[in-house]
Amino acid sequence: MEFIKYDEGVKKQVSRFQWSSLTFLFSAAAVFFLSSGHTRTVLLAAMLVAYLILFGLGVAILRLNFFCPALCSGKKGGMQVAITFDDGPDPVATPAVLDVLAGRAIKAAFFCIGQKVAQYPDIARRIVAEGHIIANHTAHHFWWTNFLRGDGLGREINCAQKAIRETTGKIPAFFRPPAGLTNPHLAKVLSVSGLTCIGWDVRTFDTRRTKDEVVKTIAKKTRDGSIILLHDAHKSPQEATELLEKVLEVLAGNGYTVSPLEQLLELAAYQNEGTPTEAMDNNGLFSLLARWLTQTGFIRNALEDDVGPDAIRTRPSVRFLIGLTLMGISYIIGWPAVAFFTFLAAYLDKPGILVLGPASYLFSHLLFFAGMALAGQDGINYGRIILRWTSHRIALALTTRATPLERNGTDS
């Protein structure tokens, strides 16, 4: 059987997140213009709460396909299921799992953490050598991964791609987000990296449940075409062996055949070397502007002028600190003092107090200029450093925007 390649199998489409956001904005605009008073406030608040609830469910429930398409089950009709393992390779549990699978001639899919692949390359190579699928589960599996935006999320995913490719020679086409959490940036990053999001429809919570509870869950929830989620980490070899053998016995007893994930999905598990690259919004107006700006002398110079933290480690002088303090105080006693004396004159019914307002405002300016004089050359130097650092960061951002990311994940 010839499996569908990424380019043929994944089509760009408007996500449910985008549709729901547009619906919310247009509905909110209609309510704002067509209602008034308390009715408008109540309706807008109710709509906002409903949208936030939907957003939260979209983050937590992968099967909703809210932010990006996720394949959570495979084809039906053959009583086939697939077994997948997350969070490996583990030096203790993974070899035990592989031994059980080898003894029964069963192929599974391992969603591996890039950092662990680099730490335990022999186990990663064994996964591939024995015919199992190795897939992407981010570089570090940080708990805050789902809070990352496009660039940070892209680095996490592409670093894992690079580790797997350099260790095994395979470029994964399957990705599973940590804990199954998604965000609005994931779809674009996966599209650029040539990855398809893979979920599950049987979640066992095997890292914190007993063997009997896990087996009971699988027996109850498994259906024709199911993708079962297990973990090849956080277990002793004996625990991993006993659990997997019991799971396989229950599946076989219920008439299920464990098939390779790519066979169940009819989708290729790996990308070809040299897959065409795709820029992330690289033809948009902003990207065209970014490419033009990167050709200017200012941006080229700012890119070369990398000002690191060493430039500001020199301890500031006492004069500079005093000057900075006076400048700060000037803001506190400026307009606030004018307002205070105006209120005091009205409250005490003494117009003469109003004079203190302009006087304090003038005094604040004198303090400000005195602070600038004390800060002197040190203040100018620090200002230059901040300006150079800001210019360098802007140049880096523009260069990143103007340069297409590699779909095959070779750039991290």
Q: What is the pLDDT of residue 334?
A: 77
Q: Which two tokens stand for residue 93?
A: 């549990």
Domain boundaries, the chain: 70-271, 285-402
The pLDDT score that the predictor gives to residue 52 is: 94
Q: What's the pLDDT score for residue 159?
A: 95
Separation between Cα atoms, residue 353 and residue 368, nearest integer Å: 24
Indicate the DSSP class of residue 267: B
- If phi > 0 it is left, if psi is from -120 to 50 it is alpha, else beta; for residue 355 that is alpha
pLDDT of residue 3: 57
Query: How buried is residue 362: exposed, middle or buried, by Cβ count under 10 Å (0-12/13-18/19+)?
Result: exposed
**Distance between start and end Cα atoms, the chain:** 33
CATH number for the region 70-271 comes to: 3.20.20.370
Helix (H), strand (E) counts: the chain = 16, 11
Measured between alpha carbons, how far is residue 364 from residues 293, 316, 329, 367, 370 in Å? 41, 24, 8, 5, 10
Contacts of 87 (CB under 8 A, 6+ apart): 111, 113, 116, 137, 141, 231, 232, 233, 234
Tokens at residue 294, please? 């990167």
Catalytic residue among 132, 231, 232, 392: 231
* pLDDT of the residue at 276: 41
Contact yes or no for 9/265 (Cβ under 8 A): no
What secondary structure does DSSP assign to 311-327, as a single string?
GG-SPPPHHHHHHHHHH
pLDDT tens-place string over residues 25-69: 999 999 999 999 899 999 999 999 999 999 999 999 999 999 999
Which segments in the chain show pLDDT lower than 50? Answer: 6-11, 276-284, 404-412
Taking alpha carbons only, the member of 289, 253, 376, 290 closest to residue 326 is 376
> Does the pTM of the predicted model rise above 0.85?
no
Q: How far apart, in whole angstroms, are the C-alpha atoms of residue 69 and residue 265?
A: 14
In the residue annotation, 206 being an active-site residue is answered as no
Give the active site residue among 86, 90, 201, 232.
86
* Alpha-carbon span 288 to 114, nearest angstrom: 33
Whether 201 is catalytic: no
Both structure tokens of 317: 């002088």
Q: Which residues have a Cβ under 8 Å from the Cβ of 59 and sit 6 or more positions away?
A: 66, 67, 146, 181, 182, 183
SS3 70: strand
- Residue 175 host element (H or E): strand 174-175
Question: How long is the chain?
Answer: 412
- Strand 80-88 relative to strand 202-203: parallel, antiparallel, unpaired? unpaired
